[in-house]
Amino acid sequence: MTRIALQFLESAWPDATPHTVRERLRQACDILPVESVLLGWDLPPALEEAVAAEANRQGAALYRWHPLLASDSGTPLPSEWQTSGQTGAPIPGFLNLPEFTFICPNKPAAQEWIQQRIDKAAQRGIYQGIFFDRMRWPSPAEHLGEYFGCFCPYCQTLAIRSGLDLEPIRRYLHQSLADGAGAQRLIRALFAPQNETGPLEGFFRFRTACITRTVAACAQQSRASGLAVGLDCFSPGLARMVGQDLASLGQHCDWMKLMTYPRTFGPAGIPYELHSLAGWLGENYGLSKPDGLQFVIDSSRLQPGQPSTLQQEISDGKSITAAPIFAGLALVEMEKVNEASDEQVQADLLSCKASNPDGLALSWDLWLIPPRRLELTAKIFFP
């Protein structure tokens, strides 16, 4: 049977009360055989406890939905912790939101904070697992010239110790950005190796090693507290550009969710990431919007808005890692972010089913998912 995880309460919505959140979760569990509830961060204790009580009543494991390398308190983290681009400037977060402003996992002060936050979550005593989100480098899609990092002093020191000098990489990026052909070469490298012995490949390996090492340490810490571990990962076709090696990450979790969102215009959404790259290419190198987008689509081999992409990416994920794969299904209704029709959602669900995932992670907040879409999911996966 397909396993079901629900992401719940990314935020304390204005009409969320202990009673309403329990009722919303109870309704979902009446429709689907929910195995685990992934509860958001920075919530009032009363909401946490209400969801914990209902999850326990339903026999579902409660996971802490935990932004690993970004703020989980709604307030900005120290600016000196931020990742640095090749110009040395801090890389800003999506819309400057603290929860999307990434810190460098190689900075000692940040590492201490990361450990403290995991301990704090474990000490709540209501969780059976922890679901790590934001466990990556910032996506460079909005500005490949400035958002591709990290080049902070700590990364430079660590890279030297591993036999990698970041200065030639910085110079290579600067030279590549001088013309459109170089920029296109960089975009292709985001999705697949172009030269296994070139300087850029060493940087990609360094980036993935840093993320894997951080996740491995955090998973070990979590398990020492008796918590199971789930990971929120980019879709396989996009994972390389944010430093996620799904094969190695899969060795440090109990299951992995793939954020294969074919219709989402927001971070990790395939349309958002590809359109952002195309926009950057057009603004800086004069390509028309259609030509730029087609180049990015050809380079990534991903088709925004197509159910077939969902099937392809889940199948690829299953071939890459031995960890159980949960398909992240964006069922929320959000204006200008995720506006799929019910017919499109049905097509996505059918394509997802054809790839035979181990589970579904209904995303990204149950509070924003209409019950009819839960019923549609049940009809297709549990006829």
Domains and CATH numbers, the chain: 3-381 (3.20.20.80)
Looking from the CA of 94 toward its CB, the CA atoms found within 13 Å total 18
Task: Tell me the sheet residues that pair with 330.
Answer: 363
Structure tokens at 22: 């329990």
Query: For position 311, what pLDDT does the model report?
Result: 96
DSSP track, 33-53: -EEEEEE-SS--HHHHHHHHH
Residue type at position 314: I
H/E element, 67: strand 61-67
Structure tokens at 236: 């396989």
Span 197-224, pLDDT tens digits: 778 999 999 999 999 999 999 999 999 9
- The alpha carbon of residue 250 and the mean position of all alpha carbons in its chain are separated, in whole angstroms, by 14
Structure tokens at 278: 């195309």
H/E element, 295: helix 289-300
Residue numbers of the chain with a pLDDT score lower than 50: none
Question: Phi and psi (nearest 5°) for 150?
Answer: -120, 145
Query: For position 303, what pLDDT does the model report?
Result: 95
What whole-number distance in Å separates Cα of residue 269 and Cα of residue 95? 15
What whole-number distance in Å separates Cα of residue 337 and Cα of residue 267? 10
What whole-number distance in Å separates Cα of residue 81 and Cα of residue 152? 9
Query: For position 139, what pLDDT does the model report?
Result: 98
Q: Do residues 100 and 267 touch, judged by C-beta distance below 8 A?
A: yes
Structure tokens at 175: 């030279």
Short-list 219, 228, 222, 318, CA closest to 35? 228
User: Is the pTM value of this prediction over 0.85?
Assistant: yes
Alpha carbon distances (Å) from 289 to 172, 268, 274, 310: 26, 21, 12, 24
Question: Phi and psi (nearest 5°) for 330?
Answer: -80, 95
Task: Tell me the sheet residues that pair with 65.
Answer: 131
Query: For position 196, what pLDDT does the model report?
Result: 73
